[in-house]
Structure 1
Amino acid sequence: MLQFHHRIDLQRTMKGALSKMKQGAYAFRYAEAVPFLRLDSIGWQYTDDPGYGHHGMTRPDRGHVIFQYTLSGEGKLRYGGETWSVPPGSGILVTVPGDYRYYWEKDSGAPWEFLWINMAGEDAARLAERIRERHGPVVRLSPRSRAIRRGWELYRTVSEDRVTDAVELSTQAYGFLVSMLEQEAADAPAPDLPAPLRKATRLMKERFREPLGLEEIAAHSGVSAAYLCRLFQSRLGVSPLEYMRRRRVEAAVTLLRRTDESVSRIGELCGFESPSYFGKVFRQYLGLSPRQFRNDTNDHPYETLFLE
């Protein structure tokens, strides 16, 4: 039997309005088949029932993917001949059917509290398989990771906003699964950047047109150039100069589409030291020259690009 024992403190995890969410479970049944990943059900629950457990060979929801993330207490997963603990900050990711069983043991000493998401469809199964190849059946995820924040946002959309539109829920479910494939997703922190990194990225976004050097950016940020490079690599996965190039290419894309300025002038306005260098960098990111991009509105109809 599921019982409500205590409210988890979501203030540190989600902040603001999400900390006011209530426990619940929600399911969706659509009259017509959905030709893409479908959110089947979602819930935030507790159990202290020694009989609680699910076996992958006996569950009726064949073809579904189950993600169950521990908030407090601890669950167990028997998978591949091994027994895995599922403590807070970790979640199981399994596909139905499968030779596994997840359950709660009374000896664990505390009720098992979890957020669970049940998804259906071939896309869900394919993404889940890729995630397990990278992280195994028990995925460690910080409560502030992008994936868990998206999981809670999906729960809020259902429980608070009462959204039932299949496309909207599918879009969020895709985002949730894809975020688990991010490099180092298991340890990814929230995008709360250290102060020096915030100063550096703000400066480059505001002054990308200027010939800023690494030393100048580091001095503005209050750290050494070497330390700033380490911060960029560890938190953003790129060097400061790579970050700057991406911002310049983004700006160039917009100017190529929204203005009649010459290609060489746009390169100059975006901080590139020469037309040839502008063309070289632009081609590295988009696979074609600035002039080709400007003229090819069929295959490249966008006027805003985000390079991440």
Structure 2
Amino acid sequence: MLQPGSFAFRPSEAQPYMTLDSLGWTTDAEAGYGNDCRVRGDKGHAIFQYTLNGEGRVDTGGQTWEVPAGCGFLVRVPSEQRYYYPPEGTQPWGFFWLNVCGEDALRMCDRIVEKHGPIVRLSAESQPIALFWEIYQAVSVDRLSDPTELSVQLYRWMLSLLRSDANYVSKETGMHPAIRQAKRYMRDHFAEPLTLEGIAASCGVSRSYLCRLFQKKENDSPLAYLQRRRVEAAVTMLRKTDDSIQSIGIRCGFDSPSYFGKIFRHYLQLTPGEYRRRTAEHPYDTVYLD
């Protein structure tokens, strides 16, 4: 389970890309908490802060903005900006933050503010928030500290904020844990004779609950998802091996050649044999089905 904390990074040499200076999560900022970007020492940095509970304030552009739960802001250092716990606050301010540095960080910060304004409202399920928690877990639990690996995650996070629809919820980051585990299990074991009971057991839920979850969250069924993964694997085998079609069907989890042909044709409008022969029209080694 993740716990509040703060983490700083001090690489031995400067990097030519956006890097992570610090990040953290606090639950109890109260009277006296504040930062004035005119006097902070970390020049050339951009700071994102997102309210989880309570409320803060940010002074920017000559105005004071409320930052309630579900809202965040970006500031530059140095700048004529200030963020703080309001004197009239009645409950602690809980928030997380990311402090990033480098020319790319500043450029992207400016673009994000230009696109979304001084305050950006983000749901807890949105991709930027989900990606922050991925970074936080990598740092606080997995002890990730390599600046290059962290930078890869930072660029992904910044780009998610640059989306016009920053509240976008990706299928992976906004996914119910049981669905995520079931999908992982089916991808890893598609060649085996899987049953709904076995798939559900792999993620600790009942068969009926898993089916309801898939229908509600994915508008799909677990077995339909499994069929698509099996057909995808079959496409690759048809292109990259000389194995017989019957053998490929068995290796992809289909218990009979006729059923393999029926499902393959349902998704690709071709039989497996036709797909193998018609390489000019269908030259792809991999096809993703969704």
Residue 13 of structure 2: SS of its match in structure 1? coil
Stretches of structure 2 lacking an aligned partner (at least 5 in a row): 177-212, 244-260, 272-279
Question: How is 1:268-307 mapped onto 2 (pairs within 5 angstroms)?
Answer: 271-273=267-269, 290-291=282-283
Which residue number corresponds to residue 135 of structure 1?
A: 116
Q: Aligned match of 2:44 in 47, 57, 63?
A: 63
Question: How is 1:48-127 mapped onto 2 (pairs within 5 angstroms)?
Answer: 48-50=30-32, 52-127=33-108
TM-score normalised by length of structure 2: 0.64
Amino acid at match of 1:133: E
Which residue number corresponds to residue 7 of structure 1?
A: none
TM-score normalised by length of structure 1: 0.61
Which residue number corresponds to residue 191 of structure 1?
A: 175
1:174 Cα deviation from its structure 2 partner = 2.0
1:153 aligns with 2:173: no
1:169 aligns with 2:150: yes
Amino acid at match of 2:149: E
Aligned pair count reads 225
Residue 162 of structure 2: SS of its match in structure 1? coil
1:98 Cα deviation from its structure 2 partner = 2.4
Identity among equivalent positions (%) equals: 43
**Counterpart-to-counterpart distance in 2, 1:79 and 1:143:** 24
**Counterpart-to-counterpart distance in 2, 1:32 and 1:306:** 42
**Counterpart-to-counterpart distance in 2, 1:167 and 1:307:** 32
Amino acid at match of 1:191: M
Which residue number corresponds to residue 14 of structure 1?
A: none
Amino acid at match of 1:195: Q
1:179 Cα deviation from its structure 2 partner = 2.2
The verdict on how the C-alpha distance between 1:255 and 1:132 changes in structure 2, with shifts beyond 3 A counting, is farther
1:200 aligns with 2:220: yes
1:29 aligns with 2:49: no
**Counterpart-to-counterpart distance in 1, 2:162 and 2:91:** 31
Deviations 1:138-179 (A, max 9, x none): 111112222212212212222222221112211222222222
1:44 aligns with 2:25: yes
**Counterpart-to-counterpart distance in 2, 1:256 and 1:133:** 49
Kept after mapping to 1: 8 A contact 2:55/2:89: yes
The verdict on how the C-alpha distance between 1:149 and 1:208 changes in structure 2, with shifts beyond 3 A counting, is closer
Stretches of structure 1 lacking an aligned partner (at least 5 in a row): 1-19, 210-246, 276-287, 295-302
Amino acid at match of 1:114: F
1:59 Cα deviation from its structure 2 partner = 2.1
**Counterpart-to-counterpart distance in 2, 1:306 and 1:182:** 24
1:305 Cα deviation from its structure 2 partner = 6.7
Residue 144 of structure 2: SS of its match in structure 1? coil
* Range with bigger deviation, 158-167 or 122-131: 122-131
The verdict on how the C-alpha distance between 1:73 and 1:305 changes in structure 2, with shifts beyond 3 A counting, is farther
1:61 Cα deviation from its structure 2 partner = 1.7
**Counterpart-to-counterpart distance in 2, 1:289 and 1:59:** 61
1:100 Cα deviation from its structure 2 partner = 1.6
Deviations 1:64-114 (A, max 9, x none): 110111111111011112211111111111222322211111211112121
